Structure 1
Amino acid sequence: MSELEELADDAIDLLKQLIKAQSFSREEQETAYILENFLSKHFGAFSRKGNNLIVGKPDWDDAKPTILLNSHHDTVKPGPSWTYPPFAATLEGDRLTGLGSNDAGASAVSLLATFRYFYNRPTAFNLVCAITAEEEISGANGVKSILPALGKIDLGIVGEPTGMNAAVAEKGLLVLDGVARGRTGHAARNEGDNALYKALDDINWLRAYQFPKVSEMLGPVKMTVTQIQAGTQHNVVPDECRYVVDVRPTECYSNEEILDIIRANVQAEITPRSTHLQSSGLPLTHPLVQKAVAMGKATYGSPTLSDQALMRFPTLKMGPGDSARSHAPDEYILLSEIRGGIADYIELLTDFEL
């Protein structure tokens, strides 16, 4: 058996164990324990913070750049439409069905296999692998909680199902709460100051406005009003109207810049729920992108959010599987996708220099 075959077999066995253990966001203790056992078996030293597992290559050199391999082991909850048992790891030929198999268990075990391959091999970079928690909720106890301790990271490869193509850009997320304020009055008389009408003016602007800068990979910034609430009874002019805006930023604007533009053009008081889920983008001239293109990988902009949004260093999103299967009933991964993913990750980093 070749080394790559052994790495892939071990990765698939590990994925089966992970699928069989419940690992909803904030409840990843079981899968963290499984990963801990795997790291104990294969590496001399590793660390765990909460449900995040981190292992570094032993030949650390402060003079070298550092690459982070990262994916997550938490999952969403299975919906009622599943026809397979979500925790059974059902194998039928090449197809492995189970919750978290595609998003993002396959990426996690493939990145661990890649790390194992390079663990005792000389590289022009330091290498760290982190399999983290709470990705599905962008939680405070996920990758965000360990990044400060990792020190300076020069490049990250984030494992998510991309068909092993190179997602060089990713939209961010900005959720805004708007409160338009007026004055109550009787609906039958010309009294009051209708907060609902103010909110409607805001919503018309939000619907029509086009940000001038358009991303080559991600297109325009997208704003969608998704909730609205106003009024207490039919004959009272409402003095308050609340609405929610879902904003999907591109790398052309920071979340703070978008917030300033919106506040300058609407009447409501606008409060962001958070501003930390920024868009990301890696230039097509970056050596990792060029290496991926030379391997025949397509480049594209991803509309889905990942832990890239929490990283303030260059990142590339790439992993085995198909994003369309994520959060879907009867989620699955092909074993051939895992084997191919490991081989591609290894090729991507072989003789790579930043």
Structure 2
Amino acid sequence: MHQPTALASDALALLKRLIATPSFSREEEQTAALIADFFRDRHVPIERVKNNIWAKNRHFDPAKPTILLNSHHDTVRPNKSYTLDPFSPIERDGKLFGLGSNDAGGCLVSLLATFIYFYDRPGMSHNLVMAATAEEEISGRDGLELILPDLPPISFALVGEPTEMQLAIAEKGLLVLDCTAHGVSGHAARDEGDNAIYKAIQDINWLTTYQFPRVSPTLGPIKLSVTMINAGTQHNVVPDTCTFTIDVRVTEQYTLEEVIATIREHIKADVKPRSIRLTPSSIPADHLIVQAGIALGRHTYGSPTTSDQAVLSCPSLKCGPGHSARSHSADEFIYLREIGEGVEGYIQMLEQVL
């Protein structure tokens, strides 16, 4: 039997190797190889499609329900405010610094260690599948979504993202809408044309004040934000088009299609969704895995950020070591103790289910 303390040490060593290996979204080949080696060194057969690696527990039984353990190994690009080398795993003051240390390297290696802990155990009530996936940071189609058809049916998923090991039982979905307001071009010096910017302003004013009536008990209201706008070609020409983009964080109270329909009903601009893939996700508060976390003193909450949960159709819980506020920050870090707490916390939760 693998001991949690030794597994946490192995997890930390792997995390340092991952930090030292650039793995921007769509460029994760080298970290995928490191993860594949981690499995092979422990005699665990793997499957790989593109930069996604997954494995099943030794005594996998198709007649049993399956739990998916999932986190990602891609990172964003380091921002310009870094004072440390983002690819140098530096230990200092009880912290491990490095790009991807917190989001989501700490979660990933803790889940990998947890999977190894249970890998050889016979007689479990559930199967385990561990998937280390790509392209999460860009919501790409060649990450978890790509391999879902190859995985066995999933009863529920434990998705590793930094939550301080608290229990995110709901997560907002993401809808990005590209809008175009139409006017008529004319000369700015004369009373000509129909200014598309003014039409866009009317639409944007509605968007800043409208509230969807149904409010989620865990996630709160739907949030609409206009985040980009563009119009005009030169100072003396009334623009005939004005484009703007809406970032919509959707709760489980509405389908993405319902949100689009409501916005189209109230604004004059053309509305084109970029995709309707990233749906809200949740897991019942009385679910076994949630109750297991609560029994360990964890609390539940709704998460405003989007993760790979968005492409899962099964119940899913977001939980992991690290702090969400450190994600994508300069000199990103995770506390060394958080790795051990992650491994121990995941094991303790799953022990109550398996």
Same fold by TM-score, threshold 0.5 exceeded? Answer: yes
Report the counterpart of residue 33 of structure 1 in structure 2: 33
TM-score, normalized by length of structure 2? 0.96
- Secondary structure in structure 2 of the residue aligned to 1:259: helix
Give the drift of 1:267: 0.6
Give the drift of 1:189: 4.4
Give the drift of 1:93: 5.2
Deviations 1:101-145 (A, max 9, x none): 111111111001110111111311111000011111111111111
Report the counterpart of residue 195 of structure 1 in structure 2: 196
Report the counterpart of residue 176 of structure 1 in structure 2: 177
Alignment of 1:234-273 (within 5 A): 234-273=235-274
- Residue 108 of structure 1 aligns to which amino acid in structure 2? L
Q: Contact between 1:132 and 1:143, CA under 8 Å: does it hold in 2?
A: yes
Q: Contact between 2:67 and 2:156, CA under 8 Å: does it hold in 1?
A: yes
The answer to whether structure 1 residue 287 and structure 2 residue 288 are counterparts is yes
Report the counterpart of residue 323 of structure 2 in structure 1: 322
Give the drift of 1:36: 1.0
Moved more, 61-70 or 155-164: 61-70
- Residue 94 of structure 1 aligns to which amino acid in structure 2? G
List gaps (5 residues or longer) in structure 2.
Answer: none
Q: For residues 169 and 276 of structure 2, what CA distance do their matches in structure 1 show?
A: 21
Give the drift of 1:185: 3.1
- Secondary structure in structure 2 of the residue aligned to 1:173: strand
Q: Contact between 2:157 and 2:314, CA under 8 Å: does it hold in 1?
A: yes
Q: Contact between 1:175 and 1:244, CA under 8 Å: does it hold in 2?
A: yes
Q: Do the aligned partners of residues 234 and 84 (structure 1) sit closer, same or farther apart at CA in structure 2, a change above 3 Å counting?
A: closer
Report the counterpart of residue 92 of structure 1 in structure 2: 92
Give the drift of 1:66: 0.9
- Secondary structure in structure 2 of the residue aligned to 1:58: coil
Give the drift of 1:320: 0.5
The answer to whether structure 1 residue 112 and structure 2 residue 109 are counterparts is no
Q: Do the aligned partners of residues 339 and 189 (structure 1) sit closer, same or farther apart at CA in structure 2, a change above 3 Å counting?
A: same
Q: For residues 285 and 118 of structure 2, what CA distance do their matches in structure 1 show?
A: 26
Q: For residues 29 and 190 of structure 1, what CA distance do their matches in structure 2 show?
A: 59
Alignment of 1:215-226 (within 5 A): 215-226=216-227
Q: For residues 25 and 76 of structure 1, what CA distance do their matches in structure 2 show?
A: 7
Q: Contact between 2:2 and 2:117, CA under 8 Å: does it hold in 1?
A: no
Report the counterpart of residue 71 of structure 2 in structure 1: 71
Q: For residues 228 and 325 of structure 1, what CA distance do their matches in structure 2 show?
A: 29
The answer to whether structure 1 residue 166 and structure 2 residue 167 are counterparts is yes
Q: For residues 91 and 231 of structure 1, what CA distance do their matches in structure 2 show?
A: 51
Give the drift of 1:11: 0.9
The answer to whether structure 1 residue 348 and structure 2 residue 325 are counterparts is no
Report the counterpart of residue 9 of structure 1 in structure 2: 9
List gaps (5 residues or longer) in structure 1.
Answer: none
Moved more, 96-105 or 187-196: 187-196
Report the counterpart of residue 336 of structure 1 in structure 2: 337
Moved more, 88-97 or 202-211: 88-97
Q: For residues 151 and 60 of structure 1, what CA distance do their matches in structure 2 show?
A: 10
- Residue 343 of structure 1 aligns to which amino acid in structure 2? E
Give the drift of 1:190: 4.1
Q: Do the aligned partners of residues 149 and 204 (structure 1) sit closer, same or farther apart at CA in structure 2, a change above 3 Å counting?
A: same
Q: For residues 351 and 285 of structure 1, what CA distance do their matches in structure 2 show?
A: 14
Number of residue pairs aligned between Structure 1 and Structure 2: 353
Q: For residues 78 and 27 of structure 2, what CA distance do their matches in structure 1 show?
A: 14
Deviations 1:213-263 (A, max 9, x none): 111111110111122222333443322111111111111112111111111
Q: For residues 332 and 242 of structure 1, what CA distance do their matches in structure 2 show?
A: 38
- Secondary structure in structure 1 of the residue aligned to 2:70: strand
Give the drift of 1:193: 2.8
Report the counterpart of residue 47 of structure 1 in structure 2: 47
Deviations 1:30-88 (A, max 9, x none): 11111111111113311111111100012222221110000011111112222222111
Q: Contact between 1:228 and 1:244, CA under 8 Å: does it hold in 2?
A: yes
Moved more, 194-203 or 131-140: 194-203
Q: Contact between 1:96 and 1:332, CA under 8 Å: does it hold in 2?
A: yes
- Secondary structure in structure 2 of the residue aligned to 1:77: coil
Q: Contact between 2:2 and 2:116, CA under 8 Å: does it hold in 1?
A: no
Q: Contact between 1:195 and 1:238, CA under 8 Å: does it hold in 2?
A: yes
Report the counterpart of residue 214 of structure 2 in structure 1: 213
Q: Do the aligned partners of residues 260 and 151 (structure 1) sit closer, same or farther apart at CA in structure 2, a change above 3 Å counting?
A: farther
Give the drift of 1:294: 1.3
- Residue 127 of structure 1 aligns to which amino acid in structure 2? L
Q: Contact between 1:102 and 1:322, CA under 8 Å: does it hold in 2?
A: yes
Moved more, 36-45 or 314-323: 36-45
Give the drift of 1:2: 7.4
Report the counterpart of residue 129 of structure 1 in structure 2: 130
Q: Do the aligned partners of residues 183 and 344 (structure 1) sit closer, same or farther apart at CA in structure 2, a change above 3 Å counting?
A: same
Q: Contact between 2:44 and 2:55, CA under 8 Å: does it hold in 1?
A: no
